[in-house]
């Protein structure tokens, strides 16, 4: 497919009424060109697996399955841009196991020592901790770690590592462009906010709809579609962020610290997609911030979120610009590595 066709296909993701200034993308004109190059040229070499793989999460398994059946795989390691370590770095994995796996690959192949592992990547839902052994140090500091979102604190290196878009419970069509008719300013599902005092404040606010108990699927989707904002406390509760965006419900991420592991950080301008607010001011401060957003540019933010939600969809058979391909795009951006001279560990 020609670049022109790819660019037209990419533009089909954007509502026609959305001006370029409200695009959810960091580089809206560069993305389709780079994506086309990635699809055409990107090559991954997979080492022989040392054991049968069993990952911690379904999204890891889906990424792995999509990768091994993709056209990115090469049998010739000399033409590979990156090398994949096919090992299940589970949460209960011992440091000794990591040392053994990396040690075997560096002994049996020449590729690890060329970059000290900087052109390698691996899957670890909870992250790999620090260690003193040479193999663990190089893996942690140099190799790209693909983690589940939200990532484990202190086990994620923002400039290097990648977080997987969360796996939605269902596929939803992105909300159509145009003005949204909303019955509620904000919506909170039963487990999205757990800080007790904040929950109590939100429960008594007539503009915030709080579902204290699990609701059925149809009711849940209706809540998303009828609400301007969906409130999430940063943590495991934020896994539904892609679903909210798809229904035109702008995510509000409640956190008291900077977040550096949002999915697709190399692709999306999250400040144009979601609202980030702390807990110190309680529900009153959250509402003040949301009120300002409604006045200053809510519709642009909602449409940007709906467009971006298409990159959160995981397919059993990957489709263009879906979650799998956007993770691969982030790996493509990391393919340039420093070629260290082979040397002994000092």
**Three-state helix/strand/coil letters over 168-180:** CCCCCCCCCCCCC
Which pair of structure tokens corresponds to residue 320? 């263009």
Nearest-CA neighbor of 78 among 102, 109, 49?
109
Quickly list DSSP for 141-208.
Answer: HHSEEEEESSPPTTS--TTT-EEEPPPPSS--PPPPSS----SEEEEE-TTT---HHHHHHHHT-TTE
Q: How far is CA 24 from CA 27, 100, 263, in A?
A: 9, 43, 13
Sign of the CA dihedral with 330 first, then 336, 341, and 346 last: negative
Q: How far is CA 338 from CA 114, 117, 187, 334, 341, in A?
A: 9, 10, 47, 11, 10
Report whether pLDDT(131) > 90: no
49: enclosing H helix or E strand: none
Report whether pLDDT(21) > 70: no
Q: Give the pLDDT score at 234.
A: 94
Q: Please report which confidence band the pLDDT of residue 13 belongs to, taking 50, 70 and 90 as the band edges.
A: very low
Residues 319-337: tens digit of each pLDDT: 999 999 999 999 999 998 6
Q: What is the pTM of this model?
A: 0.89
79, 303 contact by CB (below 8 A): no
Which pair of structure tokens corresponds to residue 54? 């069993």
Neighbours of 4 (CB within 10 A): 10
Q: Give the pLDDT score at 169.
A: 67
Report whether pLDDT(209) > 50: yes
Kindly state the average pLDDT of the residues 301-326: 95
Q: Give the pLDDT score at 53.
A: 85
Q: Please report which confidence band the pLDDT of residue 174 belongs to, taking 50, 70 and 90 as the band edges.
A: low
Residues 40-99: tens digit of each pLDDT: 999 999 999 998 888 889 999 999 999 999 999 999 999 999 999 999 898 888 899 999
Dist CA 20 CA 18 (whole Å): 7
Q: Please report which confidence band the pLDDT of residue 11 belongs to, taking 50, 70 and 90 as the band edges.
A: very low
Q: Please report which confidence band the pLDDT of residue 162 belongs to, taking 50, 70 and 90 as the band edges.
A: very high
Residues 235-279: tens digit of each pLDDT: 888 999 999 999 999 999 999 988 999 999 999 999 999 999 999
Q: Please tell me the least confidently modeled range out of 20-29, 215-224, 260-269, 270-279.
A: 20-29
Q: Give the pLDDT score at 178.
A: 61
Identify the residue with better confidence: 69 or 345. 69
Residues 229-247: tens digit of each pLDDT: 999 999 888 999 999 999 9
What's the chain's Rg over C-alpha atoms? 21
Q: Give the pLDDT score at 338.
A: 62
Report the SS3 class of residue 4.
helix
Report the SS3 class of residue 73.
strand
Nearest-CA neighbor of 21 among 314, 231, 303, 213?
303
Kindly state the average pLDDT of the residues 125-130: 88
Burial of 66 (0-12, 13-18, 19+ CB in 10 A): buried
97, 133 contact by CB (below 8 A): no
342, 332 contact by CB (below 8 A): no
Report the SS3 class of residue 220.
helix
CB-based contacts of 278: which residues, under 8 Å, 6+ apart? 254, 255, 256, 285
Q: Please report which confidence band the pLDDT of residue 153 belongs to, taking 50, 70 and 90 as the band edges.
A: confident
Report whether pLDDT(9) > 50: no
């Amino acid at each position: 497919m020609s670049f022109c066709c790819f660019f037209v296909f990419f533009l089909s993701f954007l509502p026609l009424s959305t001006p370029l200034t409200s695009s959810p993308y960091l580089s809206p004109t560069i993305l389709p060109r780079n994506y086309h190059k990635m699809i055409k040229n990107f090559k991954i070499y997979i080492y022989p697996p040392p054991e049968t793989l069993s990952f911690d999460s379904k999204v890891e398994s889906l990424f792995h399955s999509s990768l091994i059946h993709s056209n990115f795989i090469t049998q010739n390691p000399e033409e590979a841009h990156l090398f994949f370590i096919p090992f299940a770095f589970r949460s209960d994995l011992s440091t000794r196991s990591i040392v053994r796996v990396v040690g075997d690959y560096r002994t049996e192949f020449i590729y690890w020592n060329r970059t000290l592992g900087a052109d390698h990547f691996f899957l670890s839902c909870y992250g790999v901790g620090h260690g003193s052994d040479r193999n663990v140090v190089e893996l942690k500091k140099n190799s790209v770690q693909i983690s589940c979102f939200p990532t484990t604190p202190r086990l994620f290196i923002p400039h290097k590592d990648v977080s997987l878009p969360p796996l939605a419970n269902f596929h939803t069509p992105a909300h159509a462009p145009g003005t949204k008719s909303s019955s509620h300013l904000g919506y909170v599902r039963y487990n999205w906010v757990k800080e007790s005092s904040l929950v109590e404040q939100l429960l008594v606010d007539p503009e915030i709809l709080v579902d204290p108990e699990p609701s059925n699927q149809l009711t849940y989707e209706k809540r998303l579609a009828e609400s301007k904002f969906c409130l999430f406390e940063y943590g495991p509760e934020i896994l539904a962020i892609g679903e909210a965006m798809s229904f035109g419900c702008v995510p509000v991420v409640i956190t008291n610290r900077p977040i550096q592991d949002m999915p697709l950080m190399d692709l999306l301008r999250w400040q144009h997609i979601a609202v980030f607010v702390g807990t110190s001011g309680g529900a009153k401060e959250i509402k003040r911030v949301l009120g300002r957003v409604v006045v200053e540019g809510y519709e642009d933010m909602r449409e940007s979120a709906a467009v971006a939600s298409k990159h959160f969809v995981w397919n059993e058979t990957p489709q263009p610009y879906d979650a799998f391909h956007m993770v691969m795009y982030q790996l493509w951006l990391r393919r340039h590595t420093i070629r260290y001279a082979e040397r002994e560990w000092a």
